[in-house]
Amino acid sequence: METIKLFPALFLSVGLAPDFAAAEEIIVSATRTPRLAAQTGSSVSIITAEEIEARQYNFVADALRDTTGVSIARNSSIGGVASARIRGAGSGQTLVVVDGVVVNDPSAPQGGFNFANLDVVDIDRIEVLRGPQSLVYGADAIGGVISITTNRHAGVSAFAEGGSFGTVRGGANLSLGDDENFSRLTVSGIHTNGFSRAAVGTEDDGFRSIAASLAGGMKLDETWRGQVNARVSDSRAEIDGFPPPDFSLGDADAVENTQDYAVVASLAHDAARADGVFTVSFTAIDRNNVDAGFEIFAATGDRLSADYITDIALSERLSLIAGVEVERFSVDVSGVDESASNGAAFALLEARASDTLTVSGGVRRDEYSNFEGATTARVSAAWQVAPEVVFRGSWGQGFRAPTLFELNFDQFGFIPNPNLSPERANGFDVGVELHPIENARLQTTFFYTRVTDQIDFDFAGSGYFNIDETRSRGLEVEAEWQAAEWFSATAHYSLIDAIDVGTRTQLLRQPKHQGGASVILSPVERLSLAASLIVNGDENDFPTSNDSFTRVDLRGSFALTEQIEIFGRVENIGDKTYQDVSGYAEPGRSAYGGVRVRL
């Protein structure tokens, strides 16, 4: 069996330039080990560092909005709260992983991750893995997994930009060494005067954030390597609220302060027929809201985890991927001061039935200290019938464990419900990837997911409880074409019919239709021009629904020398008025420009 060593995925950069040969691209997230795309049965989209730079994304949320099957809901484009949904699954049903470590917020009511402050400065690659993925990832991976890998490239780079709303943003990266022995320091920051978050507001709501990360890796001998990563960020966002006398959304003298911390240590070994990685990590988040000088909300959450993942070649055509995990998490929020732990083990067999057919299947068991455990399974297949045609299919189970907040919330007369059951999901997808002409790719996928025991909140007085079920089904289409060295185009469309089965209503903040397109031109040497289109359909929201919107952005860059590049962009050039979240404003036409240096 053709194998790919585990080290490149965890210690080296896997940020590839666009490659239209399906057999050559590498996928890491599907099995937590590197595999060729043509041997992967899961539906995966990849965003490379080159694409992030060319499209001038500021935050990960910007990149995800331009990705098949992903919906973004945020109460302002800068700061605030930004949540990601995959195929209609809620933010708490979407697992987020950075360098192999889960970063979902244990103190959030549903345990989701806030993308609002996650900058793209040191990101090398984003993989979006769609469909239930609890076999290898455990809880919260019902809609899928967003896996982020940070940069490992040697070199020195820096950028600075400024523009509308008094915005100033910058960052720098210093990386030394080579692929086996390296050290890296990255810093980034943003400051903006902002605009009113409340659509009816009149005063600007500013935002500032600073982040730093430090990483180092070393080859200990011919078979062992070690790595340590640390990350810290601090942000301050001015927010609107619900002031008297009518307590509706409007201007407020309120601020949200957030600090994030993460420390990760990994030790990997490489044997003739087996690779393995042992990882220990600690993540924490501390948030507090202050209104008119008084603290009105505070939350802290932390997660301590350890896992071991191994990839064993049992024969030329059969491999075993297995792992064990232990985790302890705690929260202190709104009167809930609790902790819990869980342990898990999984095994996945992968077989190359032929040179063109790869099948896999496995099972996982999770045990929790504070409620019933869960068993999940998954099977998938990839069949490359020709160099330009790959069929894929998968069926999997997922679950979301009740958060400590949901199990114990007892404020304002609501009753705790320690008997909450995990949300459970079954889903499948089938698709085909075609390369109809040279340097072109077309991929279509049909999916279906059903979730039972969905956790909801009863505002009438009973608090959190398990409801019946939700269902999501739809079609995803994505295409890309490198027509010439000076012209490329991409497009994607998602039909996501996600409903509450009991009420037959569309799930909140999930458009049924969404998509986008972009073109990049290089009419002369060193000049790049691009345009992108974002289309978002009508959304069911509270208290009112959100209308559909279409947004067009323009951007360009020019390389003054091999080391210095200037760039600029105009966002929402049509000055459209729209809302991602009911009652919260998004910016109108805005412009930014800057310079980037590489040494």
In a domain, 2, yes or no: no
As a whole-number percent, the residues of the chain with pLDDT over 90 amount to 67
User: What pLDDT was estimated at residue 413?
Assistant: 66
Answer for the pair 58, 497: CB distance below 8 angstroms, yes or no: no
In a domain, 42, yes or no: yes
Tell me whether the omega of the peptide bond preceding residue 245 falls within 30 degrees of 0, making it cis: yes
Positive or negative, the CA dihedral 568, 572, 575, 579 is negative
User: What pLDDT was estimated at residue 78?
Assistant: 79
In a domain, 126, yes or no: yes
User: What's the rounded mean pLDDT across residues 492-499?
Assistant: 97
In a domain, 1, yes or no: no
The structural domain count of the chain equals 1
Q: Which of 14, 32, 33 is nearest to 24 (CA)?
A: 14
Lowest mean pLDDT among 146-155, 315-324, 474-483, 549-558: 146-155
User: What pLDDT was estimated at residue 22?
Assistant: 45
Residue 228 has pLDDT above 90, yes or no: yes
User: What pLDDT was estimated at residue 7?
Assistant: 39
Query: Which residue segment(s) compose the domain that 526 sits in?
Result: 7-598
Q: Which of 463, 570, 558, 472 is nearest to 512 (CA)?
A: 472
In a domain, 140, yes or no: yes
Lowest mean pLDDT among 288-302, 430-444, 493-507: 288-302
User: What pLDDT was estimated at residue 310?
Assistant: 96
The per-residue DSSP string of 502-527 comes to TTTEEPBT--SEEEEEEEEE--STTE
pLDDT tens for residues 535-573? 999 998 877 889 999 999 999 999 999 999 999 999 999
Give the span between the Cα atoms of 44 and 68, in whole angstroms. 9
Tell me whether the omega of the peptide bond preceding residue 387 falls within 30 degrees of 0, making it cis: no
The CATH number of residue 170's host domain is: 2.40.170.20
Those residues whose C-beta lies under 8 Å from the C-beta of residue 174, and which sit 6 or more positions away, are 156, 184, 185, 186
Looking at every residue in the chain, the average pLDDT score rounds to 90
In a domain, 103, yes or no: yes
Q: What is the pTM of this model?
A: 0.93
Residue type, position 470, single letter? T
Q: How confident is the model at residue 412 (pLDDT cuts 50, 70, 90)?
A: low
The DSSP 8-state label assigned to residue 179 in this structure reads: S
